[in-house]
Amino acid sequence: MDTTEFRLRGKEMVDYMCEYMDTLAARRVTPHVEPGYLRPLLPAEAPQDAETWDNIMADVESKIMPGAASPACTELETIVLDWLGKAIGLPNEFLAFSEGSKGGGVIQTSASECVLVTMLAARAQAIKRLKQQHPFVEEGILLSKLMAYCSKEAHSCVEKAAMICFVKLRILEPDDKCALRGATLRQAMEEDEAMGLIPFFVSTTLGTTSCCSFDNLQEIGPVCAKFPAVWLHVDAAYAGNAFICPELKPLLNGIHWADSFNTNLNKWMLVNFDCSTMWVRDRIRLTSALVVDPLYLQHGYSNSTIDYRHWGVPLSRRFRSLKIWFVMRSYGIKGLQAYVRHHCQLAKQFEQLVRQDNRFENDDTGASKVPVRFRHLDTMVRLNTRRESSNYSRSSASPSLSPEGQDNSCLSAKSADSSRKSADSNREIGSRSPRRSPTPQS
């Protein structure tokens, strides 16, 4: 849409809203549709080709408005997240309307919230399981045994989630391609388990913030599967959008091992902020951590419909699926693929320009180039921001880091030390039983 059409459509939209206000008295207070009304009215997949604005608006009037805010708001969210999940190549288990699936997608406010919510769910699952095994041990003690994992390249939101969840986080060293490897994770989990700690959550990243590296899901998945009920999350906050292109889908290999996945459409799919999409393999495992059901929120459809208030922190929800629906239809899958491909080409072109430019020089590894003028600055920044010596972070026993840049390594070391000291008391609780092995995606 160019600016000429944007002006026109924007003015039409104001007219549409005013017309709605002027005819309010003649409209129904409650919709006349039943939950589940929308799915038969919409295609099961996003269109391949772009559609006209007039077509989409006609559907707003005939399909969305009769369902008003409810149930249309919920139903369109489930439908478009299935569209998108299919388009980026998530396994069928993550799609709400796939035969036999227990999963589905939801829109959250941010990737940080997606990581937090999945960690909360994993924590609830782990505590529930431990309480069954150790009914007389206090929950606080069980909580102090839980250990989450991520790579040094993971986004800081994993650390923040661990801080909020009051669990320990072990931050692992990636390989020379900045990817977390299965062997590193296995060794850490085994060491912790030997100390009586309980691995319960692993957050991997596909497309890390600083260098777009990819953790090795194909190695990490089987490692997680060897530990009872470890929740494997995949944070693909920006790179996840690129999986809409078939040639980039191999970067998603190993996703069949994951319990949850998130990507931000507001980062790279032309949807304005905020729009973080998240999918889970088993929605009951997610919602069981978050259900609170007072009388004034109960309704007669709780067994037959999705109730997104149980999928995250907020109760009230915006109609964010509308903007995904508009974008996916206005561009079509082909248009969105072209957009991502164009950016990848621009990145390659930029790489060429940097390589040819003698104002840049190779960094210490020879793998990338940095500006000569900024070389020392760059090194300083990296030294200050990377968690160079941190291994363990965040513990229920250790205080939080100050945003002003308190020394991470000191707290991390303390946390590691306190973890080791409590190892003896931990050993009794960390017993094992086998975990599910997922069906590989065909």
324-346 residues labelled b (16+ CB within 10 A) or e (exposed): bbbbbbbbbbebbbebbeeeeee
Binding-site string for ligand PLP from residue 180 to residue 219, where x marks contact by CB under 6 A and - marks none: -------------------------x--xx----------
Stretch that binds ligand PLP, among 231-239, 281-289, 315-323, 367-375 (CB under 6 A): 231-239
In 3-155, which residue ranges form alpha helices assigned H by DSSP? 3-22, 53-59, 72-88, 111-133, 139-145
Q: Is 243 exposed, middle or buried (0-12, 13-18, 19+ CB in 10 A)?
A: buried
Site for ligand PLP in 143-182 (CB under 6 A): 155, 157
Minimum distance of ligand PLP from residue 111's CB (angstroms): 3
- Given candidates 38, 84, 95, 111, which one binds ligand PLP under the rule CB under 6 A? 111
Q: How far is the CB of 59 from ligand PLP (least distance, A)?
A: 29
What is the b/e burial string over 392-411, where b = at least 16 CB atoms within 10 angstroms of the residue's CB? bbbbbebeebeeeeeebeeb
What is the helix (H) or strand (E) element at residue 40, kind and residue range?
none
Nearer to ligand PLP, 204 or 419 (CB): 204
User: 38 vs 88, which CB is nearer to ligand PLP?
Assistant: 88
Residues in the chain: 442
Cβ distance to ligand PLP smaller for residue 112 or 184: 112
* Residue 108 in the binding site for ligand PLP (CB under 6 A): no
118 binds ligand PLP (CB under 6 A): no
DSSP label at residue 399: P
Instruction: Specify the amino acid at residue 24.
Output: L
The β-bridge partners of 372 are none
Residue range at the interface with ligand PLP (CB under 6 A); choices 76-84, 94-102, 192-200, 230-238: 230-238
Cα distance between residue 293 and residue 311, in whole Å: 13
Q: Is 204 helix (H, G, I), strand (E, B) or coil?
A: strand
Maximum CA pair distance of the chain? Answer: 72
**Residue nearer to ligand PLP on the CB measure, 145 or 394:** 394
User: 66 preceded by cis ω (within 30°)?
Assistant: no
Q: Which is nearer to ligand PLP, 161 or 198 (CB)?
A: 161
Among 98, 112, 151, 422, binds ligand PLP (CB under 6 A): 112
Beta carbon nearer to ligand PLP, 64 or 154: 154
Q: How far is the CB of 394 from ligand PLP (least distance, A)?
A: 17
- Is 237 a binding residue for ligand PLP by CB under 6 A? The answer is yes
Q: Which spans of this chain sit near ligand PLP (rule: CB under 6 A)?
A: 110-112, 155, 157, 205, 208-209, 235, 237-238, 264, 276
